[in-house]
């Protein structure tokens, strides 16, 4: 059956947004790892980097522009594992050029990343949303017919209030929330394996309960992950947790 989000040429089975109340909590990392693990399960996957002002996805996958164009639109970059990627950084002449547009322009570009890109056929299009819960995110929610949302937070980011805003925004559009991922929850001592909660006791569990959403994972700060990410090799990262989350998403599809 055609998806409501199908554009001129693309056929997308499921669209999932990854959201966070603020930047720097690991939203792009979560998006990249989820894309990687869905791909490993054998699905065709696209990743739309909606973080227009701080695009970091191409770096993590080691892909760069310029992009080619055909009669159906811009052709996304392809990661080493075969994930289709579209990002503002693939259109800039220099990846460190600043993007200083205001909200409405950012929203317009997001729509274009959907309409004017030749995504082809995909099982999943993951959208790394711009950080925050304001106008830009509201317009983005209107632009895509989403099948689900994953919320990302970190222990130090005023969890309850920020997650609450995201949940309320998502509920306005009656989009199901797959759950909450708390990133950078703790560090594991490399010598004794003890988990150290450097930001204090996590509130993720009580927050998830308060808003009646599932707590999908609490991820540690992992130097190996940041190294692979910085070197454009994030697809090499193996995560049991993300394997399970990818399975969960794929199984929810069947219901
Ligand atoms: P956001 O998309 O929310 O702005 P990013 O995913 O870009 O955040 O992450 C910000 C920085 O933190 C990046 O350099 C990333 O590699 C690093 N990072 C994110 N999560 C982890 C983690 N669990 N362990 C180690 N480094 C991480």
Which pLDDT score is estimated for 100? Answer: 67
Which pLDDT score is estimated for 147? Answer: 93
Residues 180-194 have pLDDT tens digits of 999 999 999 989 999
Taking the CA of residue 51 as reference, the ligand 1 atom at the shortest distance is 2
- Is the ipTM of this structure higher than 0.95? yes
Distance CA 29, CA 186 (A): 16
Would you place residue 1 in the very low, low, confident or very high pLDDT band (cuts 50, 70, 90)? very low
180: which strand partners? 151, 215
| Residue 18 vs residues 49, 191, 218: alpha-carbon distances, Å | 10, 34, 16
Ligand 1 centroid from CA 221, angstroms: 9
Ligand 1 centroid from CA 24, angstroms: 6
Is the separation of the CB atoms in 3 and 115 below 8 Å? no
Residues 131-175 have pLDDT tens digits of 888 888 888 888 888 999 999 999 876 667 888 899 999 999 999
Nearest CA to ligand 1 atom 22: 221
Taking the CA of residue 23 as reference, the ligand 1 atom at the shortest distance is 4
Residues 197-229 have pLDDT tens digits of 988 888 889 899 999 999 999 999 999 999 999
Domains of the chain in start order, with CATH, are 11-254 (3.40.50.300)
b/e per residue 161-181 (b: at least 16 CB within 10 A): ebbbbbbebbeeeebebbbbb
Distance CA 250, CA 239 (A): 16
Distance CA 143, CA 111 (A): 6
Distance CA 239, CA 169 (A): 30
pTM: 0.93
């Amino acid at each position: 059956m055609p998806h409501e989000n199908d554009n001129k040429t693309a056929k997308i089975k499921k669209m999932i947004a990854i959201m966070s109340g603020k930047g720097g909590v690991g939203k792009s990392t979560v998006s990249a790892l989820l894309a990687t693990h869905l791909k490993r399960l054998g699905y065709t996957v696209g990743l739309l980097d909606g973080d227009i002002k701080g695009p970091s996805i191409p770096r993590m996958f080691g892909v760069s522009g310029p992009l080619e164009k055909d009669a159906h639109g811009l052709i996304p970059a392809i990661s080493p594992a075969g994930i289709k990627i579209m990002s503002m950084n693939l259109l800039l002449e220099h990846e460190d050029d600043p993007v200083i547009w205001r909200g409405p322009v950012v929203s317009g570009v997001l729509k274009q990343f959907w309409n004017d890109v030749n995504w082809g056929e995909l099982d999943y299009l993951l959208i790394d949303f711009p950080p925050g819960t304001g106008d830009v995110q509201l317009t983005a929610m209107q632009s895509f017919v989403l099948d689900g949302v994953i919320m990302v937070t970190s222990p130090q980011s005023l969890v309850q209030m920020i997650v609450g805003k995201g949940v309320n925004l998502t509920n306005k559009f009656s989009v199901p929330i797959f759950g909450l991922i708390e990133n950078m929850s703790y560090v594991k001592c490399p010598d004794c394996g003890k988990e150290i909660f450097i930001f204090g006791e996590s509130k993720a569990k009580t927050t998830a309960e308060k808003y009646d959403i599932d707590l999908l994972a609490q991820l540690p700060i992992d130097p190996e992950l940041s190294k692979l990410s910085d070197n454009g090799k994030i697809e090499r990262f193996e995560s049991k947790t993300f394997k399970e989350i990818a399975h969960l998403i794929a199984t929810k599809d069947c219901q």
